[in-house]
């Protein structure tokens, strides 16, 4: 039985064995080519951000204008996805600081997206750093979305944010009143703790104000605009997010074995900001979202074949999850191209299928 607690036995063993904070595999890319891929630009992210927030304003306005008619429903559904799903990828890219070249633009969008996703901007910056250090290392990575065995009720409920939002509100209250949680102290440095508490209090105050407005107006509309879209619009970011590592190996140090690149339609790629190129992102996190298709083309000879679609991704994950639910120790073994370089066979024998 795996112990996913950051304070537990698996985490301690990962440190002892050298799995934690290990060197990870990187495909060789000539320096000049990588430098070109890493270049930052404000233009693509300004364009996408104006489109995103512009669409949100129009959709929310239409939803409010048509409220309470059912004709408002399609507008709320679209608004919800941009709020409860596109903000996940904006939080992610701006947290890396790669979306915009200009630092303050990353910070502004990161803070707004963190609020909308109900994530503490200080805590989650550090949890995501740990996710990149120890990707899917049990007991070390605080962002493991699908544990073994998978909690299906949680996965399905989170399509509508049910468990995530309950946990987020609980943690927001904890941080605002009691301070930093003991688990958070394992990856957030002490110098950042005041920022965690301050952000939690700001978020809590805004949500309380929106709730008070809704009560004063005797209307749910303020909550339809702020807060509830984190529930009714979450499905797309959960759908794409589960594909990132679902059903693949854990406790390895090669992103080709534990991450998944999925080819997707352009609408999902806009919402997801190209994070469907997930192996590429983990291998080279300093490459901005708009350059990931080029990075994919540059290193695909060294990667497993990409999953052909969202549907294909779920078709391969679902049977594995079902077997894991029955207690089987199974996962998807990735076939590397014949030209690919093997890496750390001591850690990866099972994940590469060279044993069992």
Partner 1 sequence: MTDWIHACDTSDIDEEDVMRWDHGGRTFALYHSPDGEFFCTDGLCSHEQVHLAGGLVIDHLIECPKHNGQFDYRTGEAKRAPACVNLATYPVKVDAGRVLVQV
> How buried is residue 145: exposed, middle or buried, by Cβ count under 10 Å (0-12/13-18/19+)?
middle
209 binds partner 1, rule: CB under 8 A: no
Candidates 34-42, 52-60, 75-83, 140-148: pick the segment binding partner 1 (CB under 8 A).
34-42
Cα separation, 142 vs 20, whole angstroms: 13
User: For residues 23 and 355, which CB has a smaller minimum distance to partner 1 in the complex?
Assistant: 23
Interface size with partner 1, residues (CB under 8 A): 23
User: For residues 132 and 185, which CB has a smaller minimum distance to partner 1 in the complex?
Assistant: 132
**93 and 273 in contact (C-beta within 8 Å)?**
yes
21 binds partner 1, rule: CB under 8 A: yes
Q: Which of 125, 237, 269, 290 binds partner 1 (CB under 8 A)?
A: 125
Q: Which of 50, 65, 103, 325 binds partner 1 (CB under 8 A)?
A: 103
Q: Which of 72, 89, 98, 244 binds partner 1 (CB under 8 A)?
A: 98
Using alpha carbons only, how large is the chain's radius of gyration in Å? 21
Candidates 170-178, 189-197, 227-235, 290-298: pick the segment binding partner 1 (CB under 8 A).
189-197
Which residues have a Cβ under 8 Å from the Cβ of 277 and sit 6 or more positions away?
Answer: 261, 292, 293, 295, 296
212 binds partner 1, rule: CB under 8 A: no
Both tokens of 342, joined, read: 């093997």
Q: Which of residues 272-311 bind partner 1 (CB under 8 A)?
A: 284-286
Least distance (Å) from partner 1 to the CB of residue 110?
11
**311 and 62 in contact (C-beta within 8 Å)?**
no
Question: Where are the alpha helices (H) located in 178-307, listed in sequence order?
Answer: 193-217, 221-225, 229-232, 235-243, 255-258, 266-272, 278-283, 292-299
356 binds partner 1, rule: CB under 8 A: no
Determine if residue 41 is left, alpha or beta; phi over 0 gives left, psi from -120 to 50 gives alpha, anything else beta.
beta
Q: Which of residues 38-77 bind partner 1 (CB under 8 A)?
A: 38-40
Which positions lie near partner 1, rule CB under 8 A?
A: 21, 31, 34-35, 38-40, 96-98, 101, 103, 125-126, 129, 132-133, 189, 191-192, 284-286
């Amino acid at each position: 039985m795996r112990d996913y607690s950051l304070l537990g036995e698996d985490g301690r063993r990962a440190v002892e064995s050298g799995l934690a904070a290990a060197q990870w595999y990187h495909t060789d890319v000539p320096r000049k080519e990588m430098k070109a891929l890493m270049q930052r630009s404000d233009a693509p992210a300004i364009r996408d951000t104006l489109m995103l927030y512009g669409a949100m304003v129009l959709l929310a306005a239409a939803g409010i204008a048509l409220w309470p008619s059912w004709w408002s429903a399609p507008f709320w559904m679209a608004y919800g996805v941009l709020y409860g799903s596109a903000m996940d990828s904006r939080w992610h890219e701006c947290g890396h600081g790669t979306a915009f070249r200009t630092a303050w633009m990353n910070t502004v969008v990161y803070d707004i997206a963190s609020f909308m996703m109900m994530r503490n901007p200080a805590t989650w910056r550090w949890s995501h750093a740990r996710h990149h250090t120890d990707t899917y290392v049990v007991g070390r990575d605080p962002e493991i979305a699908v544990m073994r065995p998978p909690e299906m009720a949680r996965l399905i409920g989170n399509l509508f944010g049910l468990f995530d939002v309950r946990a987020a509100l609980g943690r927001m209250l904890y941080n605002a009143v009691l301070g930093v949680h003991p688990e958070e102290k394992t990856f957030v440095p002490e110098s950042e703790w005041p920022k965690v508490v301050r952000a939690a209090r700001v978020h809590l105050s805004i949500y309380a104000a929106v709730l008070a407005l809704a009560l004063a107006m005797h209307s749910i509309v303020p909550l339809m605009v702020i807060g509830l879209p984190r529930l009714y619009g979450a499905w797309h970011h959960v759908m794409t997010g589960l594909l990132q590592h679902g059903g693949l190996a854990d406790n390895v140090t090669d992103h080709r074995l534990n991450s998944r690149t999925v080819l997707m339609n352009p609408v999902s790629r806009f919402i997801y900001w190209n994070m469907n190129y997930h192996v590429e992102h983990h291998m080279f996190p300093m490459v901005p979202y708009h350059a990931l298709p080029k990075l994919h083309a540059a290193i695909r000879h060294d990667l497993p074949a990409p999953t052909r679609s969202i549907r294909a991704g779920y078709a391969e994950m679902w049977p594995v999850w079902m077997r894991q639910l029955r207690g089987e120790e199974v996962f998807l073994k990735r076939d590397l191209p014949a030209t690919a370089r093997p890496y750390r066979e001591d850690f990866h024998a099972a994940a590469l299928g060279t044993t069992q």
